[in-house]
Amino acid sequence: MSDIPSSVLSHIDQGLDASLGRLFDVLRIPSVSTDPAYAEHCERAARWLEAELGGLGFEASVRPTPGRPMVVAHYNAAGGANAPRVLFYGHYDVQPPDPLDRWTSPPFEPRIVTGADGGRQIVARGAADDKGQFMTFIEAARAWIAAEGKLPVNVTILLEGEEETGSPSLLPFLKANAEELKADVALVCDTNMWDAQTPAISTRLRGLVMDEVTITAPAIDLHSGLYGGPARNPIRVLTRILAGLHDDQGRVTLPGFYDGVEELPPEISAQWKSLHFSAETFLGEIGLSVPAGEQDRSVLEQLWSRPTCDVNGIWGGYTAAGSKTVIPSKASAKVSFRLVGKQDPLKIREAFREYVQASLPEDCKAEFIGYGASPAIEIPTDNPQLTKAAEALKEEFGRPAVMMGCGGSIPIVGAFRAMLGMDSLLIGFGLPNDRIHSPNEKYDVASFHHGIRSWARILGKLKM
């Protein structure tokens, strides 16, 4: 027996063009959060969403913050407090469209083009990140209300306007409104499918620790002809220390680094192997050919279930045009660690700093600046809500959803768990080639259509 009335799916299919029209309306609003010149457009996007959700029967409001406003909307289904409540999260802000000369059409004038595969694609800034994604959920809610007169579960929608600038207002807002925003599960639609025909649920998010180190040796910059040899060069010191962070097998050498790193469950390992992921193709697209991580791990494992250490920037001395024979006083680097399992971010940071301090020769000192420390998140695959969502996706796509890892970090998921006491289902309908943050960002019309139908099915499943 289906958990969704056929009337809901029929409404989605017959109303696809109207759904695209509403998506185009919000895509036309240049809600760039990082540039103050666009502040009024962020406000306009928030007001547009407030009106749209209010028109569906939500109690919707725009909430001010020190930065860009939040949009919060509540819908109480039949059954009231006895019905489950879901919290749907998305963001209406977008990346700047620069460089403008790389766009084939104006970035805030959405259009539909034919892709290389013959499919239709929506091209505009925000098409995939994240307006096209969150509109799949809003359109699914619209279909339920239009076809059945109500939603099957209680729904709270939270749309923020600063995700692309690090969400500085979000955590204070969650803390101040925790009781209002609590739900049985959070739904996050800012991720990808495995491919255009295969849905996915992201069950693993790597944590993140970032540190900046500056090593000082001589008190001032020195002439290398007068001091080269006897004077300690902090660039040499720093690069030697950084090189020692990995062994010849690609493993990180920090003591205790792998504490809390667990092996994959056999069923997940088997599923990943069945995907027939091509490391050669993956690396070939960026001009590389040989995997450089842990030698005894597949590329998918390296991306989704293994921790990493990377030097993200390094500088010191003279770097402008021409030459200058200088021994610098200081050398600096930015280092990040992606974490998995039960690794402790603060212990990893402390281990890194202790390693640097222990590696310093005479006449050198190190100073550090920390930029964030968040743990990894894993959603158990036997989570009953995840199981229901996976069933809904299989019904829509005709094939099982891949339980993916995510190489990046989505801090909001950890915040929902820590501050609101709930896990998240990360179900997105983007594709790796959607060019998010780049010129000619796109979102497949098929992804948009499947996304609406999928959320409609998931809402039906979650009512049980």
H, E, C per residue of 5-59 = CHHHHHHHHHCHHHHHHHHHHHHCCCCECCCHHHHHHHHHHHHHHHHHHHHCCCE
CATH of the domain at 189: 3.40.630.10
| 370 and 394 both lie in a single domain | no
Domain end point (choices 334, 356, 374): 374
Whether 221 contacts 329, CB under 8 Å: yes
Whether 108 maps to a domain, the answer reads yes
Whether 148 maps to a domain, the answer reads yes
Whether 292 maps to a domain, the answer reads no
User: Is the sign of the CA dihedral 319, 324, 327, 330 positive or negative?
Assistant: negative
Question: What is the percentage of the chain residues whose pLDDT exceeds 70?
Answer: 100
| 31 and 120 both lie in a single domain | yes
Rg (CA), the chain: 25
Whether 432 maps to a domain, the answer reads yes
| 90 and 231 both lie in a single domain | no
| 56 and 30 both lie in a single domain | yes
* pLDDT tens string 198-257: 999 999 999 999 999 999 999 999 999 999 999 999 999 999 999 999 999 999 999 999
Write down the pLDDT at residue 409. Answer: 72
| 345 and 197 both lie in a single domain | no
Whether 338 maps to a domain, the answer reads yes
CATH of the domain at 235: 3.30.70.360
List the one residue out of 211, 219, 208 whose CA is nearest residue 332.
211
- Extract the tokens encoding 394: 């299989």
Domain end point (choices 329, 353, 374): 374
Phi, psi of 322 (to 5 degrees): 75, -165
Phi, psi of 154 (to 5 degrees): -75, 140
Whether 84 maps to a domain, the answer reads yes
| 30 and 121 both lie in a single domain | yes
* pLDDT tens string 276-326: 899 999 999 889 999 999 999 999 999 999 999 999 999 999 999 999 999
Encode burial over 430-455: b for 16+ CB neighbours within 10 A, e otherwise: bbebbbbeebbbbbbbbbbbbbbbbb
Torsion on CA atoms 18, 21, 22, 25, rounded to nearest 10: -160
Mean residue pLDDT across the chain: 95
| 320 and 431 both lie in a single domain | no
| 386 and 351 both lie in a single domain | no
User: How many separate domains does the chain show?
Assistant: 2
| 320 and 424 both lie in a single domain | no
Alpha helix stretches (DSSP H) within 308-408? 345-359, 384-397
Where does residue 220 fall: left (phi above 0), alpha (psi -120 to 50 degrees), or beta otherwise?
beta
pTM of this structure: 0.86
What separation in angstroms does the CA of 395 have from each of 151, 271, 435, 461?
20, 19, 28, 11
| 135 and 66 both lie in a single domain | yes
Q: Whole domain around residue 196: which residue ranges?
A: 6-205+377-462
Write down the pLDDT at residue 374. Answer: 87
Write down the pLDDT at residue 411. Answer: 79
| 217 and 154 both lie in a single domain | no
List the one residue out of 418, 1, 389, 431 whose CA is nearest residue 207.
418
Write down the pLDDT at residue 212. Answer: 97
Residues lower than pLDDT 70 in the chain: 1-2
Whether 285 maps to a domain, the answer reads no
Whether 365 contacts 234, CB under 8 Å: no
List the one residue out of 91, 73, 80 whose CA is nearest residue 26.
91
Whether 72 maps to a domain, the answer reads yes
| 200 and 214 both lie in a single domain | no
List the one residue out of 318, 348, 314 whose CA is nearest residue 331.
314
